[in-house]
Structure 1
Amino acid sequence: MEHSVLLSELKEKGYEPLIFGKEHPARNLLFARLWDPAQTVFDPAALYLGSTSQMPDPETDSEFTFFCCGEPVDFSRYGRSPFTLAYFGSAVSQAALFNASLESISRLQEISAGMHLLVNALFSGNGLQYLVDTAAQIFGNPIYVVDLQHKYLAISAGLIPDNAFFTAESQSGYISEKGIASIRANRLDEKVRKSGTAYYYVNELVQKGMLVDAVRIQGIEVGHIMMLESERPFRDFDADFFHRFSNLVSMELQKDSAYTRNKGVMYSYFLSDLLKNPGQDASRIRERLRLLGYNLKDTFYIVAIPPAGHSTSDLQLNVILERLIRIFSGSIYVIYEDTIVFFISRELFQNLSEYEMSQLADYLLANQLKAGISNFFRQLEDMPSFYRQAVDAVKLGLKLNDPSPVYYYSDYYVYKLLETAEQNGENLRFLIHPGLMRLYLYDQEKGTEFIATLREYLHQPGQSSQVAKNLHIHKNTLLYRLGKIRELMGCELAVGEEFMNMNLSMMVLKYLGMM
């Protein structure tokens, strides 16, 4: 067990050691020994435990790890020692510290032994089924591997639960409709993604515990592995062990032509890589995509559905993804940071088509989803910034209570500037034009609707008849209101700069929720 991992686990158990000497975070500790003061030869893979009444000489010229407890001593002498010393305080007994450390080391030894067998199975060339069967024997429980279409890729042999539900699913080769409904109702996929490791839950359909983990290829989620707690109870370390196993399943699937030759998935790797690692050589990415048969055009857009945009929907991300793939044919897509991301390539003067946007809006409305669309860009290395634009568009659109299902960043960039100013400590109320503030306060005091009237007029300046129609008032009433508005504001609204100032102030009011 790595030195840093052991310390981390002990801290989780409530221990708070003070560290002195030279640290070796990556040093592997394979066994524990009680400290022998007469010892002169030390094993760097051993953890030595003792009392502060019997300490190693600070000048001992060996690299090892020493844990101690008891009454404090002058630890400053150990500041430059070549070995690592961890002091756990006077309230900790040597026996308790030894047992806690040995428990962690023994647990990892068992995992290491199991991983050794699983790695051998992986490189045996016998395929996914053999790897899963080997894992089931090691864990002592049945294991299942499914893809994002809920198809079983492998079901462990030999350990078959006596359960009609799993028997029926095993025969069909797919998770049943009842099983899918349960997954959605419990938001299981979302919980697995958030956990970052194997997630435990009780399967209500069979009343047994299960561990579920995501299988990813270069960060792209391609399936899930599940283990049923049917033959023996899960051990404390099974979740960690099972998570390590998921990485081996990922490696095995990468050898499978169904995944390695899937161009959509391969393209997704590049998109995910560009989002996670900005500043890459864009020309290299372009060339690799070209070799895979994807030729980039002149301009790009990012369409994103972040967590805030799908949190109220009952659909799984992979279901949403499959529908959008049909709308944005020829695009590159990925699920990144729990966000559906589409990278769309177009010719220089070719926008997203009306048909695409109509289909997108209809689908989003029907399923309580929100999408953001970035400005266009031309350099691949700029992708992370434009991805953030699409995500910010959704966040700002929701903040401003915009009912539209699609948010264009070009409509919200001023609000982004206001958000940035606010985060930097600017009081946005001070940015409101004084004339408009007077009008706002007059509305609040008198119950008038001058702000609403001015807002409509600013949208369609000079078109009095249309403005009156939109406000459902007579044109003469509008002209009276405009006269009163000019009087209260001390502004004639006769030049473009006045219109610009008033529009900006209106946006501040809207951002602050004052209108």
Structure 2
Amino acid sequence: MNAKDYEELYITLLDAASSGSFREIAEAAYRIIRHPIVLIDVEYNVVVQVPQEPIGDYIWDTLLKEKLVPAQMVWNFNKFEYVKANRESEGSIQVDWGMVEQLPRIMGGVRVGGEIAGYIGILYPEGIPDEDIKAGDILMKAFAIEFRRRMSFPAEVHPLRNVFLSEVYHCRIKTMEELEEWQRHAGMTIPGGYRMICAKPTGNVYESALIKYISSQIEKRLKGSYAIAADGAINILLSRQDMRPDQAESDKNLLDILKPILSDLKLQVGISGRFESILEIGPYIYQSRRAGELLESIENAGASAFYSDTVLEDIFSKIRAGISEVNSVHPAIFKLAASDKTNDTEYLSTLRNYLKQMKDSSRTCRTMNIHRNTLLYRLERIRQIAGIDLEDVNTCTHLLISFHLIG
């Protein structure tokens, strides 16, 4: 493009932006630039794509078909740091690495009020002339005008939605009267029966565009969910939860719903217990966050943990800092650990499993994959080495507590 082209592009896009739409801006730019143009928003939805036809580029053709950036492509964008590169640059940049090495393109973050509202891509199959970077800058300014004009629209639909959810999350609504007043002004009611979920992308990546994308996807896929990005995580208020007495069945049903979402969006989550009033939300926010933090302490937990599975570790993690192991841990544990080390035996793990299985010999044998006679022999040796009575309630309680204390 030469200086005359840039002048024409600037005037044309200014006219389109002042009276048109995203599509009119893109089509006007395409007539002058003559290279494929795509605009996506921060939730990775395709806003406009010109021309509306496949061109043999995997990314372009996928966006044309799906009308959004699929989850796996979002992760690849993050992996190759395209979003990071755009955030670190005020203008458009040439991108010729990672997924687009064979088909370079101009990319840029469209900013409104200093915040990125979307991203442009201009494809150049034959390579990008240095002077064409300027075309990306002009196009971003035109799109920014249209974004600015449209950004008030969601606020007109639910002007206080996000403020209301923030007030709920930060426990600033104290009475039913205040809650009802907020619901009336926000034009929304959150049906009863609740849980809190604290979600983080695998690897704890916290890129604001990625978080916005994940939040919108959760609300689309998870019925009755309200996502609130705060404190370095996505906090999800779930409504319409099963409040019947059978907690285990309720947990199972929720996991069945969550599993494909967690897998697709690559999330790890902590899940609170159930509660019946939004005014009670405070402790359950803590539960969901703490369950997520303690996820790794749960055997075979996978991508999720209920607070009920982590509550003992939560309690004992706080106790450990203020006690002496010598004074608090049952002496039998030290004796058995020393004996195992000297004789290459497994008495300590056998005792731990036996107590964990509530002294059920059959379950212990299945868990450890050993014969019943082997278990009986080991239990007798444990009694001899440690000098303990496994029929005594206080002894067993102390031993179980000790296992939690030593992790």
**Which TM-score applies when normalising by structure 1?**
0.53
Q: Give the equivalent residue in structure 1 for 2:5.
A: none
1:341 aligns with 2:235: yes
1:356 aligns with 2:254: yes
2:112 and 2:392 map into 1 onto residues whose CA distance is 61
1:389 and 1:190 map into 2 onto residues whose CA distance is 34
Amino acid at match of 2:309: D
Are 2:214 and 2:265, in contact at CA under 8 Å, matched by a contact in 1? no
Q: Give the equivalent residue in structure 2 for 1:460.
A: 357
The residue correspondences of 1:89-488 to structure 2 (distance < 5 A) are 145-147=39-41, 150-154=44-48, 174=64, 183-184=73-74, 186-188=76-78, 191=81, 197=87, 201-202=95-96, 203-204=100-101, 206-212=103-109, 224-226=118-120, 232=131, 251-256=148-153, 259-260=154-155, 267=161, 270-272=164-166, 274-275=168-169, 278-282=170-174, 284=178, 286-290=180-184, 294-308=188-202, 324-325=218-219, 328-336=222-230, 339-346=233-240, 349-350=243-244, 352=250, 354-361=252-259, 364=262, 369-377=267-275, 380=278, 383=281, 386-399=284-297, 402-420=300-318, 431-488=328-385
Per the TM alignment, residue 128 of structure 1 is displaced from its structure 2 partner at its CA by: 5.7
Per the TM alignment, residue 343 of structure 1 is displaced from its structure 2 partner at its CA by: 0.8
**Alignment CA distance shift 1:176-1:477 (3 Å):** closer
Higher helix share: 2
Per the TM alignment, residue 306 of structure 1 is displaced from its structure 2 partner at its CA by: 0.9
Per the TM alignment, residue 338 of structure 1 is displaced from its structure 2 partner at its CA by: 6.5
Amino acid at match of 2:329: I
Deviations 1:272-309 (A, max 9, x none): 5654xx25235545533355564335553112321337
1:207 and 1:180 map into 2 onto residues whose CA distance is 20
Per the TM alignment, residue 267 of structure 1 is displaced from its structure 2 partner at its CA by: 4.7
2:357 and 2:279 map into 1 onto residues whose CA distance is 39
Q: Give the equivalent residue in structure 2 for 1:492.
A: 389
2:295 and 2:142 map into 1 onto residues whose CA distance is 41
Per the TM alignment, residue 453 of structure 1 is displaced from its structure 2 partner at its CA by: 1.6
2:192 and 2:393 map into 1 onto residues whose CA distance is 35
1:176 and 1:150 map into 2 onto residues whose CA distance is 11
Amino acid at match of 1:398: E
Amino acid at match of 1:153: V
Larger Rg: 1
Per the TM alignment, residue 492 of structure 1 is displaced from its structure 2 partner at its CA by: 1.7
Amino acid at match of 1:332: Y
State, as a whole percentage, how many aligned pairs show the same letter.
19
Deviations 1:12-35 (A, max 9, x none): xxxxxxxxxxxxxxxxxxxxxxxx
Per the TM alignment, residue 443 of structure 1 is displaced from its structure 2 partner at its CA by: 1.8
Per the TM alignment, residue 502 of structure 1 is displaced from its structure 2 partner at its CA by: 1.9
Are 1:433 and 1:505, in contact at CA under 8 Å, matched by a contact in 2? yes
Per the TM alignment, residue 367 of structure 1 is displaced from its structure 2 partner at its CA by: 7.3
Are 2:77 and 2:83, in contact at CA under 8 Å, matched by a contact in 1? no
Are 2:365 and 2:372, in contact at CA under 8 Å, matched by a contact in 1? yes
The number of residues matched between the two structures is 367
**Which TM-score applies when normalising by structure 2?**
0.64
SS in structure 2 of the partner of residue 412 of structure 1: helix
1:331 and 1:493 map into 2 onto residues whose CA distance is 48
1:469 and 1:405 map into 2 onto residues whose CA distance is 25
1:177 and 1:298 map into 2 onto residues whose CA distance is 34
SS in structure 2 of the partner of residue 187 of structure 1: helix
SS in structure 2 of the partner of residue 370 of structure 1: strand
Per the TM alignment, residue 420 of structure 1 is displaced from its structure 2 partner at its CA by: 4.5
Per the TM alignment, residue 447 of structure 1 is displaced from its structure 2 partner at its CA by: 1.6
1:429 and 1:358 map into 2 onto residues whose CA distance is 44
**Alignment CA distance shift 1:382-1:164 (3 Å):** same
1:380 and 1:181 map into 2 onto residues whose CA distance is 32
Amino acid at match of 2:76: N
2:282 and 2:145 map into 1 onto residues whose CA distance is 30
**Alignment CA distance shift 1:469-1:180 (3 Å):** closer
Deviations 1:214-244 (A, max 9, x none): 889xx9x9x6232659674769xx8xxx7x9
Are 1:297 and 1:347, in contact at CA under 8 Å, matched by a contact in 2? no
1:196 and 1:496 map into 2 onto residues whose CA distance is 63
Are 2:192 and 2:276, in contact at CA under 8 Å, matched by a contact in 1? yes
Per the TM alignment, residue 475 of structure 1 is displaced from its structure 2 partner at its CA by: 3.5
Structure of higher RCO (CA pairs closer than 8 Å, 6+ residues apart): 2
Per the TM alignment, residue 477 of structure 1 is displaced from its structure 2 partner at its CA by: 3.5
**Alignment CA distance shift 1:271-1:400 (3 Å):** same
**Alignment CA distance shift 1:252-1:428 (3 Å):** farther
1:380 and 1:343 map into 2 onto residues whose CA distance is 9
Structure 2 unaligned residues grouped into runs of 5+: 1-9
Amino acid at match of 1:412: T
Structure 1 unaligned residues grouped into runs of 5+: 1-113, 511-515
